[in-house]
Amino acid sequence: MIRTITLAFLAALPLGLCANQEVEAFMNMLEPDRKFSSYQELVEHYQQWFTTRYAEVEADLCAATHKNLDQLVQERAVLRKEYSQPYRLEVFDVASPRFERLLKETLKDFGVKRKIKIYASSITGYAAAYLDFIIVNEWRMSRYSDDVIKAVFAHELQHILFEDCLDSDHLSYQDHQEQTPRCRHMQLAELRADVFSFLKSPTYAAAVKDYFDPKWPHSPYDIHASDAQRAIIAKTICKQLVSVLPLYKRLAWHAIHAARSLKTTLGRQMTVLWGRWKGKQPKVPYTLLML
Ligand SMILES: [Zn+2]
């Protein structure tokens, strides 16, 4: 009897926690020690995984909604048109020059020629993407280094380029609980935005480690990977990117990184000493030392 109850409890656990199935599938496929012969091969490896996975999830989505893929694409196009009405932008403020400049630099790095605007707003998160513009919470973002802000913009940019920004509306509690195709479709979009922003260069992949806090609690109803998972994915991709660099660039990368981590360690030690001298716990946010 007790064993049955225990088994039933254990069986219910994964459902109760409703783990992000797409992130788990991706993490199972990640091979930190895999060697790639070129940058192209590395990028194609991830492109292939997302293409296959998207096809599977979209097939599930079609079956669940009794619609074919054309109908789903059409519905998204209607939604995009609706959202592109100019009156929707009136609620936002003009972004400050620092954020304008950082977005411009990000677009240049990604070779994006089209016009993508940026607005400031007190949104709950840090940044969000819509059809062809990004909204940033400047108050929250301003404490981060330029590299971190560019990495966040790079994530948002992927949503614009893959045109998936409007798919993330209206997920119910049950969608998460049951990991429905709709929920998994959105999880994939978030994961893809992470992976393809990291894949740009080791600088982009490494920057986010200052942004994600592995100790940050993760809501099972969040379609993003947890901070801990995002940090692992970024670290793995960074390592793979560095391994395909030509030798001199690889050496330069390691030298810059060694200098940076030394600076961080020293900075942290100084903060601790300063805190002790003042007779209280250090209050300087860790990220400020990364600048
Ligand atoms: Zn996102």
CA of 161 to the centre of ligand 1 (A): 12
User: What's the token pair of residue 148?
Assistant: 């971190």
| Burial class, 162, CB count within 10 angstroms (exposed 0-12 / middle 13-18 / buried 19+) | middle
pLDDT of residue 17: 58
What is the arithmetic mean of pLDDT over 141-157?
94
Cβ neighbours of 111 (radius 10 Å) = 7
- Is the pLDDT reported for residue 1 higher than 70? no
CA of 82 to the centre of ligand 1 (A): 21
User: What's the token pair of residue 265?
Assistant: 């360690």
User: What's the token pair of residue 244?
Assistant: 């395909």
- The predicted model scores a pTM of 0.82
Phi then psi dihedrals of residue 232, to 5 deg: -65, -45
CA of 192 to the centre of ligand 1 (A): 9
pLDDT of residue 164: 86
What sign does the dihedral 236-259-110-162 (CA atoms) show? positive
CA of 85 to the centre of ligand 1 (A): 22
For residues 57 and 188, the answer to whether their CB atoms sit within 8 Å is yes
Place of tokens 């788990």: 24
Least-confidence region, from 16-20, 40-44, 102-106, 186-190: 16-20
pLDDT of residue 174: 86
pLDDT of residue 169: 60
CA of 224 to the centre of ligand 1 (A): 7
CA of 212 to the centre of ligand 1 (A): 14
- Is the pLDDT reported for residue 10 higher than 50? no
CA of 100 to the centre of ligand 1 (A): 19
Beta strands 127-129; 117-120: pairing state: unpaired
CA of 40 to the centre of ligand 1 (A): 24
CA of 252 to the centre of ligand 1 (A): 31
CA of 137 to the centre of ligand 1 (A): 14
CA of 1 to the centre of ligand 1 (A): 46
Mean pLDDT score of the chain, rounded to an integer? Answer: 84
User: What's the token pair of residue 165?
Assistant: 């920004």
Write out pLDDT tens, residues 256-283. 888 887 887 787 777 777 767 766 555 5
CA of 128 to the centre of ligand 1 (A): 7
- Beta-carbon contacts of residue 185 (< 8 Å; ≥ 6 apart): 57, 58, 61, 167
CA of 271 to the centre of ligand 1 (A): 33
